[in-house]
Copies of this chain bind each other. A is one copy, B any other.
Amino acid sequence: MSELSVNGRARIVELPEIREDERGAMAVAVCGEQVPFVVRRSFIIFDVPAGITRGKHAHHRCEQFLICMAGALDLEATDANGTASFQLLGPTQGLYVPTLTWLSIKPAEAGTVVLVLASDDYDKADYIRDWPSFEALIAGGCR
């Protein structure tokens, strides 16, 4: 977990939108402001067939920040306090996902493109892919 981290649950973060003139719009995600970690890795999820749910895992250490770049995205996040549902509809908001949060994502439109900013390099051992193990972890207060 990065030193910029804050505790808390998965939550929608509004990104400042700048429309200075007729040349279009910009949404901004600054590390230490909207994104509570320094980004070590980015990945983009695309070409997801209709009806498919992805994610379905949690992380011990890696925090994530999801932005829906095109289309729309339904999300469900479960932590020790319960389950919350979210929807991301465009590039002016993100979902911050803390550690020990089981996340599922499902595109709500064809052509949905999702950016994931991550606080850590890829580490297979950081993934919790088994729901009973995750339940046991959060039940044990291992936050």
> Which A residues fall within an 8 A CB radius of B?
15, 19, 22-31, 35, 38-49, 52, 54, 67, 69-70, 90-91, 111, 113, 115, 117, 121-122
Residue numbers in B under 8 Å from A27 (CB-CB): 43-44, 46
Set of chain B residues within 8 Å of A41, measured between Cβ atoms: 28-31
Known A-B contacts A49-B23, A70-B111, A113-B113; the reply to A91 vs B30 at CB < 8 A is no
Give every chain B residue within 8 A of A115 (Cβ-Cβ): 69, 115
Nearest B residue to A29, CB-CB: B42
A44 in contact with B24 (CB, 8 Å) = no
Q: Which of B35, B43, B54 contacts A42 (CB 8 A)?
A: B35
- Inter-chain CA distance A30–B42, complex, in Å, is 6
Identify which of B38, B47, B69, B121 contacts A69 (C-beta below 8 A): B69
- Complex alpha-carbon distance, A40 and B40, angstroms: 9
Chain B residues with CB under 8 Å of A54's CB are 23-24
Interfacial chain B residues near A52, Cβ < 8 Å: 22-24
Chain B residue with Cβ nearest A107:
B24
Contacts of A40 in B (CB 8 A): 30-31, 38-39
With contacts A91-B113, A113-B91 taken as known, whether A46 is within 8 angstroms of B24 at the C-beta atoms is yes
